[in-house]
Amino acid sequence: MRARDLLTPYPAVSVDDEAMDALRLVSTQRLPALLVVDSDGRPYAIVAVAHLVGRLVPDFVRQDPVLAAVIGDRFDVDARESAIGTTIGAWLPHNRVRPPVVGPDAAPMQIAALLDRTQSPLVVVIEQQGDTTRLLGAVTPVSLLDHFVRGS
């Protein structure tokens, strides 16, 4: 059993894609994290869903969280509109998290150790061919647990 056998296709967005499109992708596919690739298709960042939700919170609420309880849903439309017309690259944390990456021949224990060390919601599986990087998919902690619990 290798990474190629454990992976599932995993969608990615480019740093230049619109933030709203990225949010829709995460929401409709119930992804554990957003995978962002650079303009060459190489894994660039992994963004926790909690960070994406946090970007929808207005600054005045972030500064005084008590306000969130009293404003109700008056700013929900503003939150949605804040994701329109801006790129997901602009929404990335300043200290972006690079996704952990393995090749298709990585062993399950190698992937498990990487997940443990990085505490990432997934490990990206890529294939390098010269200067070209091809995203094959991702191994999630659940699929890895399934392998260890049920066997190959």
**Residues 81-112: tens digit of each pLDDT:** 878 889 999 989 888 889 999 999 999 999 99
The rounded distance, in Å, linking the Cα atoms of 60 and 76 is 14
* CATH code, domain with 22: 3.10.580.10
Cα distance between residue 118 and residue 38, in whole Å: 21
Query: Given phi > 0 = left and psi -120 to 50 = alpha, else beta, which region is 104?
Result: alpha
pTM here is 0.85
Name the amino acid, one letter, at 4: R
pLDDT tens digits along 17-32? 999 999 999 999 999 9
Residue in the block written with tokens 């070209």: 132
Please state the domain count of the chain.
Answer: 1
- Tell me the residue range of the domain where 16 lies: 3-150
